[in-house]
Structures are given as C-alpha cells and as structure tokens.
Amino acid sequence: MVLRTVVTHAKKHPALIPLFVIIGCGGVGASLYLMRLAMFNPDVSWDKKNNPEPWNKMAPNDQYKLFSINMDYSRLKKDRPDF
C-alpha cells in the first residue's frame, strides 16, 4: 500500500526518484543491521533461562564486530584456564 503511493508519487514527480531510492536503501539497511544485531550479537540474550551468557560461547578468535581494523583475529589463542 505504501509502495503503491510511492510509485504513483514518483510517476508524477520523477525527479524525486533518487530520493526515494536513497531513503529506501537507508531504511532497509538500518532494519537489516538491527536484525543482524538481534540475531547474532553475543551480548543479546533472548532466552535467559537456557542461554544466559551467550558471550561466553565465543571462540577466542571469533570476531565480534562487523568491521574490525588492525586486529588479526586469526592469531588469537585461548588464554583463560578451564574449570
């Protein structure tokens, strides 16, 4: 419904099409990143009973961030004692 409004509006004012595209990409990108954070961020725990500390399930050389610069994750080793 929103898409049809946008399409008829764009036909009447074709100069506005780049605006729609850019805003659309921005909105989609923001929601995609939000879904990524909700599903894959190890700080997020949806099920506190079965998965109370998901950050402890990371291997020592897992990368937490989306873009990490100047950090060579392949060389990291586990250095905490087991118990």
Partner 1 sequence: MAEDIRAKLGRYKTAPFDSRFPNQNQTRNCWQNYLDFQRCQRAMAARGADVTPCQWYFRVYKSLCPTSWVTAWDEAREEGTFPGKI
**Vertex 26, ends 21 and 32: CA angle to 5°?**
125
Complex with partner 1: residue 8 or 74, whichever CB lies closer: 74
> Is 72 in contact with 64 (CB distance < 8 Å)?
no
> Is 10 in contact with 16 (CB distance < 8 Å)?
yes
Complex with partner 1: residue 17 or 38, whichever CB lies closer: 38
CB of 31 to partner 1, least distance (A): 23
Residues in the site for partner 1, rule: CB under 8 A?
42-43, 52-53, 55-56, 58, 60-65, 68, 71, 73, 76, 79-83
